[in-house]
Chain A
Amino acid sequence: GDSVTQMEGPVTLSEEAFLTINCTYTATGYPSLFWYVQYPGEGLQLLLKATKADDKGSNKGFEATYRKETTSFHLEKGSVQVSDSAVYFCALRKGGKLIFGQGTELSVKP
């Protein structure tokens, strides 16, 4: 069945460091891909999305490119801030359902 795999956390970085969180997916057809972020005690918020191959989603300095050849959607940010500390979820949507990866906790230290 369809699935999403993320790199395991927690990831700990210093402020202004470069961030990459790896995400790969398994799906038939052409799913849409998403990154969601969850801050402590809150629900998930959409961070960015891409709906077809080679699309780049971006928001708040975060970027991810839909790579069909490698079935990947890695999240990147050039310079993280303490306020970026959260859990990040990669997800795919096909046929109505949204399927999540296991989440990657990011902790940014000042």
Chain B
Amino acid sequence: DAGVIQSPRHEVTEMGQEVTLRCKPISGHDYLFWYRQTMMRGLELLIYFNNNVPIDDSGMPEDRFSAKMPNASFSTLKIQPSEPRDSAVYFCASSRGGDGNSPLHFGNGTRLTVT
């Protein structure tokens, strides 16, 4: 079975531009997570979905960030407008179930650089 697939692997954009990151979770997984990783703040949970419904978006830094999950096999994280401080690696993860017996499976991440 294919793992979590993220695209693009790398994104370089100029400040003010719109950025869209994409994620395809593992088939059959009902939880999807977006994390951001930086040297300063480590791994931060931005938002997570259960059955395509956002459950907790308290980690979304500000209104410039939005995430959607239109169906069970696709999610997007959008930043509009982007700023240099958004530069980070963004990870998508999915799991089957939301309890402790259900580990998260991570994609390889999208490295975003905003100049």
| Chain A residues proximal to chain B, CB less than 8 Å | 31-32, 34, 36, 41-46, 49, 51, 89, 93-103
The residue of chain A having its C-beta at the shortest distance from the C-beta of B58 within the complex is A97
Q: How far is the CB of A30 from chain B (nearest CB, A)?
A: 8
Residues of B within 8 A of A97 (CB): 45, 48, 56
Assembly CA distance A44 to B37 (angstroms): 11
The reply to whether the CB of B13 lies closer than 8 angstroms to some CB of chain A is: no
| B: contact size bracket | 20 to 34
* B109 A43 Cβ-Cβ under 8 A: yes
What would 16 more interface pairs be, CB under 8 Å, given A46-B105, A51-B101? A31-B100, A34-B103, A42-B108, A42-B109, A43-B4, A44-B104, A44-B106, A45-B106, A49-B103, A51-B100, A96-B31, A96-B48, A97-B48, A98-B45, A102-B42, A103-B43
Q: Does B98 contact A (CB under 8 A)?
A: yes
Q: Across the interface, do B100 and A96 meet the contact criterion of CB distance under 8 Å? A: no
On whether the beta carbons of B106 and A99 are closer than 8 Å, the reply is no
Chain B positions near chain A (C-beta within 8 angstroms): 4, 31, 33, 42-43, 45, 48, 50, 55-56, 91, 93, 98-109
Q: Chain B: which residue is nearest A31 at the CB level? A: B100
Task: Tell me if A's interface is mostly helix, strand, loop or mixed.
Answer: strand
Complex Cα distance A42/B106, Å?
9
Task: Looking at the assembled complex, report how far the CB atom of A37 sits from the nearest CB atom of chain B, in whole angstroms.
Answer: 11
Most chain B beta carbons < 10 A, residue from A41, A89, A97 = A97
Between A93, A94, A95, A96, the greatest number of chain B beta carbons within 10 A of the residue's beta carbon is seen for A96
Alpha-carbon gap, A44 to B109, bound state (A): 9
Asked if residues A43 and B48 are in contact (CB atoms below 8 Å), the reply is no
* A67 vs B56: C-alpha distance when bound (angstroms): 29
Instruction: Decide: B104 and A98 in contact? CB cutoff 8 A.
Output: yes
Q: In the assembled complex, how far is the CB of residue B80 from the closest CB belonging to chain A, in whole angstroms?
A: 25
Q: How far is the CA of A41 from the CA of B89 in the complex (A)?
A: 10
Bound together, the chains give a CA A93 to CA B45 distance in angstroms of 12
Considering the complex, give the chain B residue whose CB is closest to the CB of A95: B98
**B105 cross-chain contacts in A, Cβ below 8 A:** 46
